Amino acid sequence: MNGTDTTKQTIQEPDVNDSNRRHKDRQNLEVQVGLLADYQFYTGYSHNISTGGLFVGTHDILPVGSIFHVTFRIPGVDHVFSCEAEVRWSRTYDGGTTETVEPGMGIRFLDLSELEVGLINAFIIGQ
């Protein structure tokens, strides 16, 4: 090798066509997120949120398509968000590159209540 960094970053994403593209506004949000999958509890930190889902920074990557339960809070909102979610894409990082790329998962909310959608929208608009 000619001194080039050979560290790999793996990204698993679904086919990107219009039906898979984001159509919702996103807002930066860094809060702890709890994930319950197959009777195991995982934690991570969100980076951004929309009414459709959020990115969870974590080294505990679940396979694309995994369904699990997620809980989180939004600062200033007196509500614990709790719903089923699906992993839409994931990104692992195996160290050593000069770029900072956080491992994690893009998740889609499956059953937010109308109240929760409204609370997230209000948070996004208010920021």
Q: Is 83 helix (H, G, I), strand (E, B) or coil?
A: strand
What would the two tokens of residue 56 be?
A: 């969870």
Q: How far is Cα 8 from Cα 99, in angstroms, rounded to an integer?
A: 11
Residues 6 or more apart whose CB falls under 8 angstroms from that of 110 comprise: 67, 83, 84, 85, 86
Where does 14-117 show beta strands of DSSP type E?
27-28, 32-37, 40-49, 53-57, 67-73, 80-93, 104-109
Read off the pLDDT of residues 18-70 as tens digits, 9 standing for 90 and up: 444 445 677 888 889 999 998 899 899 999 999 999 999 998 899 999 999 99
> Which domains are assigned to the chain?
25-126 (2.40.10.220)
Read off the pLDDT of residues 101-110 as tens digits, 9 standing for 90 and up: 789 999 999 9
β-pair partners for 111: none
Q: How far is Cα 5 from Cα 41, in angstroms, rounded to an integer?
A: 35
Using pLDDT thresholds of 50, 70 and 90, give the confidence band for residue 115: very high
Write down the pLDDT at residue 96: 59
Task: Say how many Å lie between the first and final Cα of the chain, rounded.
Answer: 48
pTM attached to this predicted model: 0.75
Q: Which amino acid is at 120?
A: I
